[in-house]
């Protein structure tokens, strides 16, 4: 990644938090599935894995910029899933 205003690991972390929040909003407005199924978790996992390719291909972040291939996969995993669940649950609890 070119030297810019933000460090690559910050872009990855906050990008995944933003993606998790956006996914929580999408699930709140559009998810009408069976409660208790594993489908939401599967969709969230696929979206999380897709963010790897977004950062590699769109943002041109090399794995070396964040500490290696495994760090590019793992950085922001907690923030993504926490923000996804937090947004979805918070909005769903207010909608009832």
DSSP codes, 26-76 = HHHHH----TT-SHHHHHHHHHHHHHHHIIIIIS---HHHHTSHHHHHHTT
Distance (Å, whole) CA 69 – CA 34:
36
- Convert the pLDDT of each residue in 78-93 to its tens digit: 999 999 999 999 999 9
- Convert the pLDDT of each residue in 33-85 to its tens digit: 776 777 899 999 999 999 999 999 999 999 999 999 999 999 999 999 999 99
pLDDT score at 2: 54
User: Could you tell me the residue ranges of all domains in the chain?
Assistant: 8-95
- Convert the pLDDT of each residue in 13-30 to its tens digit: 999 999 999 999 999 998
pLDDT score at 4: 66
């Amino acid at each position: 990644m070119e030297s810019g205003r933000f460090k690559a690991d910050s872009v990855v972390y906050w990008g995944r938090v933003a993606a998790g929040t956006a996914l929580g909003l999408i699930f709140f407005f559009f998810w009408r599935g069976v409660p208790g199924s594993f489908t939401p978790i599967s969709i969230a996992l696929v979206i999380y894995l897709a963010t790897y390719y977004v950062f590699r291909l769109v943002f041109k972040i090399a794995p070396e910029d964040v500490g290696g291939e495994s760090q590019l996969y793992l950085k922001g995993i907690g923030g993504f899933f926490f923000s996804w669940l937090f947004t979805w649950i918070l909005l769903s609890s207010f909608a009832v």
